[in-house]
Amino acid sequence: MSESSKPATAGWTKSELARRVAQDIPDGACVNLGIGMPELVAHSLPEGREVIFQTENGLLGMGPAPPEGQEDPELINAGKKPVTAIPGAAYFHHADSFTMIRGGHIDICVLGTMQVSATGDLANWSTGDPGAIPAVGGAMDLVAGVKSVFVITQHATKTGEPKIVESCTYPLTGKGVVSRIYTNLAVLDVTTGGLVVTDLAPGVTMEEVREKTGTELTDGRQGNTAAEPPAGTATRGVGGNK
């Protein structure tokens, strides 16, 4: 069967993937969301779970997007999209926002990526090509200061190249900073022994995930080979000390 005639691999849609990420965010966590797919997580929390969202432009207690026609141009997230503020929300200076981030007061950040390595290196701001984005922005502060870094991404590029690789070839945002990777095909923990698959999307096999990944994987799902805890659990775990 030719590549063009192969059936598309099943997996989570973007909204389903956001819900899968949200399942792993504990009640009471303080969370920062990156731009793009990470923003979907804010609308995907399980019913009854309270999570406080922080946006680095100066808001703690970010709410969902307002109904059309009720947008406040002065109330936006870091991606310049209209948001609301929940009861009890706090506004503060940009510098104070980054003091929260750099001081280790944010439990989790959810970021998109271009590449993630087998050791948790993150490259999510530039391909290094001429004319690429000239600066890393707040992501470098987030991965250095937040307790746990979750990545949400498609497993491969539009041209089929793996985004999960042995070693990143793009400029790094941070080295050894990613705790867990969520893709449309699987959930992977970054451990001291490499990447461990802990969950598969419906209709996806371990073989398919391995084929679309640019590094070795361990099957750590229940009933399979036991895996080490995530590399970030001891030092960057949710609710723990950095």
φ, ψ (nearest 5 deg) of residue 76:
-135, 165
Q: What is the pLDDT of residues 132-141, one digit of tens each?
A: 666 677 899 9
pLDDT at 231 over 70: no
Residue 56 is a catalytic residue = yes
Contacting residues for 54 by C-beta, under 8 A, at least 6 apart: 30, 31, 32, 60, 62, 97, 100, 106
Q: What DSSP character marks residue 132?
A: S
Ramachandran class of 94: left when φ > 0, alpha when ψ lies in -120 to 50, beta otherwise: alpha
Query: Among 3, 16, 47, 56, which one carries the catalytic annotation?
Result: 56
Rounded distance, CA 4 to CA 158, Å? 14
CATH number of the domain enclosing 212: 3.40.1080.10
Check residue 155 and give its pLDDT. Answer: 98
- Can you read off the two tokens belonging to residue 100? 């929260």
pLDDT at 228 over 80: no
- Band (pLDDT 50/70/90 cuts) for residue 129 is confident
Rounded distance, CA 239 to CA 226, Å? 24
- Can you read off the two tokens belonging to residue 104? 């280790």
What is the mean pLDDT of the segment spanning 205-217? 97
- Band (pLDDT 50/70/90 cuts) for residue 223 is low
Distances in Å between the Cα of 34 and the Cα atoms of 139, 150, 151 are 8, 10, 10
Q: What is the pTM (predicted TM-score) of this model? A: 0.87
Domain range enclosing 21: 3-37+107-236
Residue 202 within any structural domain of the chain: yes
Distances in Å between the Cα of 25 and the Cα atoms of 21, 30, 46, 228 are 7, 9, 10, 20
- Band (pLDDT 50/70/90 cuts) for residue 222 is confident
Check residue 9 and give its pLDDT. Answer: 62
Residue 49 within any structural domain of the chain: no
Residue 174 within any structural domain of the chain: yes
pLDDT at 62 over 80: yes
Q: Is the sign of the CA dihedral 191, 122, 23, 159 positive or negative?
A: negative
Check residue 239 and give its pLDDT. Answer: 40
Residue 230 within any structural domain of the chain: yes
Rounded distance, CA 80 to CA 107, Å? 23
How many domains does the chain divide into? 1
Check residue 5 and give its pLDDT. Answer: 44
Residue 195 within any structural domain of the chain: yes
Q: What is the pLDDT of residues 92-106, one digit of tens each?
A: 999 999 999 999 999
